[in-house]
Chain A
Amino acid sequence: MKTNRTPFVIRFFAATGCKGWLAIGFFSLLTFVLVPAAHLMLPADHALHVSDYAITLIGKVMCYAIVAVAMDLIWGFAGILSLGHGLFFALGGYAFGMYLMRSIGLDGVYKSHLTDFMVFLDWKEYPWYWTGTEHFLYAVFLVLVIPASLAFVFGYFAFRSRIKGVYFAIISQALTFAFMLLFFRNATGFGGNNGFTDFKRILGYSITAPEMRVTLFALSAFMLMFTLILGRYLMQSKFGRILTAIRDAEMRVMFLGYNPLWYKLFIWTVSAMLCAIAGALYVPQVGIINPSEMSTANSIEIAIWTAVGGRGTLVGPVIGAFLVNLSKSWFTVAFPEYWLFFLGLLFVVVTLLLPQGMVGLWQKLRHRSMR
């Protein structure tokens, strides 16, 4: 790699163009300054006041958007449809949830140093894998390492045997399903089907305080931007080009002397790690994590966020995640009966009529108007 002597940091940030940075600057201003200010400073009856509900909802959807971008990295750019992203998301959530449960301290229902569900199961001490989870940094370490290592090991064996397409989708679904069953067991030590809830504080600060809410919101926004910049850098680099080449003609890439295994494995692991971070940010905002996050339906829904926005683009999945989830919030309140009809139709319409998603539709319309 003699040809490329530009320092990594410059390459990393140079990958995103002028317009991109402008958009990111605007987005930062909005999420780091304006929205927090509107939430904290303005009185509740002010017209521009941002409510608790809105902050939590948007914060949650930004986590989903990170997952959608992560899904896009692996599906849109590498052509591997994963039905296991719900698993990595949930694992990240569980890893951070362990810290949240420990920091409840003696304020639980049973006033014990153990978590409530452990008291309920009549356990006397924490199982070995809970060791150290009371430390914030260790929990963050777990969030980064556990789902990524699982993804690495699983991906290594899957990609090494050149499993792809539908087979990969199905076995990643099986993996997720197996983990869901595992986490539903009480004996696994993660709260069974109730999961983790009733969190009290992070680093000593109350989790329900408006400042904490805004902090989590801003962190989610930061992570989303980081994901997008990282995605842009990866996809602009030589690595990204080879990845898309693998997507389009894996055999040819192999005949040219590349081993697709490491390319796929790297993007797969990065994708899983991003999902895990999103999950860790998601759990304190919604206040609960349980095994149903690992259900097949959730993982497939992630794919539809990406598809709605537009596969193979970076901003598409963000748009998709926002569109689908905001309409979900609206539907489940206004017409709860029809949400599944709408979601089902969305799957059908997007795959049949809008293979490039919203971004593709926008580009088509612009081309037409320019002509």
Chain B
Amino acid sequence: MFLKIRIKMLSNFSRIVFLLPFFLIVFSLPAYAALDPEIVKQLNAETNEEKVASIKNIALLGTPEAAALLQAMADDALSFSGDTIIRMEGDRAINVATGQEIKPLPENIETLVTNNSTRRALNASLSLLKLFSPDREERIKAAKALEASADALSMPILDQVLIKESDPEIKQIITLTRASIELKNPDPAKRLAAVKSLGESNHPDVKIKLTELTDPANEPDAGVQSAAKESLASLENRLLVGESISRVFTGLSLGSVLLLAALGLAITYGVMGIINMAHGELLMVGAYATYVMQGIFRTHFPEYIDWYVLAAIPVAFFSAGLVGILLERTVIRWLYGRPLETLLTTWGLSLILIQSARVAFGPQNLEVANPIWLSGSIEAMSNVVLPLNRIIIIGFAFFVLALMWVLLNRTRLGLFVRAVTQNRAMAGCVGVPTARIDTVAFGLGSAIAGLGGVALSQIANVGPDMGQGYIVDAFMTVVLGGVGQLAGAVWAAMGLGIVTKLIEGVAGAVIAKIVVLAIIIAIIQKRPQGLFAIKGRFVD
């Protein structure tokens, strides 16, 4: 009978994971700890205040029965008859305080109604009880949720957690939460201790609380005031470090995007001297290839949908490369050595590619979903959250960079490409098929742009106009880095990314962009061949 109720309860609340730890916590207790009927009775008290107080009292028990009872109340599964709170199971009535079935069935059973304020109390109590979950992630989440909302009433629970909890991180959070509750303690000594321990917090909210205490109007005790100032200083220091780290990270992330956009251009422009204004559209081809692969996986291999991005990488590489080869064979081959003409022609090609995309896929932005392994984030510090897709794209950018470096420096093809760009006539004389090398090199640059498109599809809009947004930045990166080599592009991309984000923190996004463009223009005035140009003597 007893067991039956337990099983019933479990099945009823099987979705509530937190039930399990209660068995651990109350291992030594009798299998069913009866709740105090006087407290339980108050769940149906006259006033809201009494109800809320009763909910909190039950939560403070910290037992599985308490949790189950509150959850049942939150689920609107409780009824009452007179003073007894009961739960109906089929046609049997269970007294929630004792866990016993009431026989005979009582009369005039009415549903226990919850309103907004009781619901709030219920939710708060239930999340408090999550501190006992076996899942570490869930405990951390519950602890963090408490950080902002805890009040003096949760103190006993926090004390209980501190005894049971073994994880140092959770312990620290709880200690800090306790400290911020203690700030309101009338005893100055307690407040002093609390202020001191809060100095170790990383939470931005704590800053506000401590700032309040530095004001004599809020804090009568001078000792506590000065301690608050000290704690505040050390807290601000750490927050600043965190902010700088996350700013540098977003800078690197922007830099990696610039690098992906610019790497292909480093070949077509930097090495071959073609101003490819259609470069952005080759990025677009890569992004659309990703979109198409996503569609294919959705319809044909839904079980592997999370891996469509990996499948899209070679597809984007070859489709963008193919488009590039097509452009080179039909148009660009006639324009070598006339950079200004290539600028206009490739602009025309970009218009054609944009309009083709618009006709084929429609003018709207397409939805490209992040697979599971590209969503979510890593929390490095309490105020430093690093999105996973950004981290992976930084890695991907360097992978593409390495790929390109190997292709250019360690393969026969790369040797030929370098030979043709350094001295076309001489390369032709020793038997390098220069025209074919041009085609392949341009195709390679385009294919690399396609890879960039795969990455961009994961963090930016995919639409016909997407390429236009990157073309100015990509050219800036290559021009700034210096033509004809990869290292310059890397430094320029990362530098531009970080500088942009640092200025953005002070002045806002648009101003940052304008300032960076102005800086680039100024740098080009000083060093027209770029920051990292290959040194040599030449005259035009």
Contact = CB atoms under 8 A, between A and B. Distances in A.
Contacts of B468: 296-297
Contacts of B540: 251
B359 interface: yes
B352 A340 contact: yes
Contacts of B331: 348, 352
Interface in A331-364: 337-338, 340-341, 343-348, 350-352, 355
B518 A300 contact: no
A182 B335 contact: no
Nearest to A75: B340
Interface residues of B, number: 40
A175 B355 CA distance: 27
A327 to B, nearest CB: 14
B521 A337 contact: no
Interface string B507-520: 00010011001101
B275 interface: yes
Contacts of B510: 181-182, 184-185
Given A163-B528, A337-B359, A340-B355, A175 B340 contact: no
Contacts of A152: none
Contacts of A348: 331, 345, 348-349, 352
Contacts of A337: 355, 359
A14 interface: no
B347 interface: yes
Contacts of A341: 351-352, 355
A217 to B, nearest CB: 31
A158 B524 CA distance: 9
A347 B340 contact: no
A351 B355 CA distance: 20
A247 to B, nearest CB: 12
A337 B526 CA distance: 45
B341 interface: yes
Contact of B344 (A158, A304, A340): A304
Interface stretch (B84-92, B417-425, B472-480): B472-480
Contacts of B340: 81, 165-166, 169
A341 B353 CA distance: 9
B334 interface: yes
Given A181-B510, A307-B344, A352 B335 contact: yes
B33 to A, nearest CB: 62
A177 interface: yes
Contacts of A345: 348, 352
Contacts of B472: 173-174, 177, 296
Contact of B479 (A170, A343, A350, A355): A170
Given A251-B540, A351-B335, A174 B476 contact: yes
Contacts of A157: 525
Nearest to B342: A351
Contacts of B3: none
B539 interface: yes
Nearest to B475: A170
B528 A351 contact: no
Interface in A161-189: 161-163, 165-167, 169-171, 173-175, 177-178, 181-182, 184-185
Contacts of B316: none
A61 to B, nearest CB: 20
A36 B419 CA distance: 65
A165 B517 contact: no
Given A158-B525, A352-B334, A343 B539 contact: no
B72 interface: no
Given A166-B340, A296-B472, A178 B514 contact: yes
B352 A344 contact: yes
Contact of B343 (A166, A181, A352): A166
Given A181-B510, A341-B355, A346-B348, A161 B528 contact: yes
B131 interface: no
Contacts of A307: 344
Interface string A275-301: 000000000000000000000110010
B178 to A, nearest CB: 45
A340 B528 contact: no
Contact of A344 (B348, B475, B479): B348
Interface in A211-254: 251
Contacts of A340: 351-352, 354-355, 358
A303 interface: yes
A196 B131 CA distance: 58
B339 interface: yes
B270 to A, nearest CB: 12
Most buried by A among B277, B345, B354: B345
Contacts of A160: 525
Contacts of B518: 178
Contact of A167 (B277, B347, B524): B524
Contacts of B476: 170, 174
Contacts of B471: 296
A347 B526 contact: no
Contacts of A81: 340, 343
Nearest to B353: A344
Contacts of B358: 340
B351 A343 contact: yes
A72 B226 CA distance: 72
A251 B358 CA distance: 46
A182 B355 contact: no
A177 B517 contact: yes
A340 B476 CA distance: 26
A295 B526 CA distance: 26
Contacts of B524: 161, 163, 167, 171
B247 to A, nearest CB: 21
A333 B343 CA distance: 29
A261 to B, nearest CB: 13
A67 B319 CA distance: 39
Q: Interface centre among B348, B479, B514, by most A CB within 10 Å?
A: B348
A275 B460 CA distance: 36
Contacts of A300: 277, 343-344, 347
Given A157-B525, A251-B540, A344 B349 contact: yes
A190 B479 CA distance: 31
Interface in A28-85: 81
Given A181-B514, A340-B352, A344-B352, A167 B479 contact: yes
A178 B513 contact: yes
A338 B358 CA distance: 11
A174 B539 contact: no
A332 B355 CA distance: 14
Contact of B351 (A174, A177, A181, A347): A347
Interface in B493-540: 510, 513-514, 517-518, 520-521, 524-526, 528, 539-540
B517 A175 contact: yes
Given A251-B539, A341-B352, A352-B331, A166 B525 contact: no
A173 B521 CA distance: 10
Given A184-B510, A352-B335, A344 B355 contact: yes
A174 B344 contact: no
Given A161-B524, A185-B510, A347-B345, 12 more contacts: A161-B528, A171-B524, A173-B475, A174-B520, A178-B514, A181-B513, A181-B514, A251-B540, A340-B351, A341-B352, A347-B349, A351-B335
Query: What 7 A-B pairs have minimum CB-CB distances, sorted nearest first?
Result: A347-B348, A344-B351, A344-B352, A340-B355, A178-B517, A344-B348, A351-B345
Interface of A: 81, 157-158, 160-163, 165-167, 169-171, 173-175, 177-178, 181-182, 184-185, 251, 296-297, 300, 303-304, 307, 337-338, 340-341, 343-348, 350-352, 355
27 contacts: A81-B340, A81-B343, A160-B525, A165-B340, A166-B340, A169-B340, A170-B275, A170-B479, A171-B479, A173-B475, A174-B472, A177-B517, A296-B471, A296-B472, A300-B344, A303-B344, A338-B355, A344-B351, A344-B352, A344-B355, A347-B344, A348-B348, A348-B352, A351-B341, A351-B344, A352-B335, A355-B341
